[in-house]
Amino acid sequence: MASPVAGKKILLGLTGGIACYKAAALTSRLVQAGASVRVIMTEAATQFVAPLTFQSLSGHAVLTGMWQHDDRPDSQHIGLARWADAFVIAPCSADMLAKLAAGLTPDLVSLTACALPATTPLLAAPAMNADMWANPIVQRNLKILRETLPAWHEVGPAEGWQACRTQGAGRMSEAEEIVTAIETLLAK
């Protein structure tokens, strides 16, 4: 039986955080399920994983800057936002949540999210330290996004061991859980 992501166009945005390594497995699983995956990254994300990893896994050039162009004659952020059946931000850092809640667009991921058609699902997979996740500012930003964006969805975060050597909520969900969330969104 074909996956609900087969033939779908998934835009994957990576933001800075150690959880970026999990996005490689996510990309691979989506491609194996028959999705066309395009990857965009913030500069901070490139400090954790190389764009070449995602180019190899997705089979498409990876964009990391607002002024970078690949195969589109239009503005990259607008073209990619219109292309996508779903936009997944994984990992979605506290920084990205704040940018989105405030409507700031200083990088390709936030700029593309701003250009996303209102009916295109935006799935965030938050990833951050447990204290950051529990911070009232982060929770306020999530509340704003939940109340403002009708196509906003979240998966996770999970609880467990974190790179900062603590336990708690804030771990990015595993690839399988994110794929299931995407399948559910696209099956609607």
Instruction: Answer yes or no: are the C-beta atoms of 80 and 112 closer than 8 Å.
Output: yes
**What is the length of the chain?**
188
Eight-state DSSP code of residue 47: G
φ/ψ (deg, to 5) at 159: -105, 150
Is-catalytic flag, 164?
Answer: yes
Q: Which of 20, 92, 114, 164 is catalytic?
A: 164
| Residue reference for tokens 């690839």 | 175
Q: Residues of 26-52 as b/e, b for ≥16 C-beta within 10 angstroms? A: bbbbbbebebbbbbbbbebbbebbebe
Radius of gyration of the chain (CA): 15
CB distance 93 to 133 below 8 Å: no
Crossing angle, helix 108-115 and helix 76-83, to 10 degrees? 60
Would you name the residues annotated as active-site residues?
164
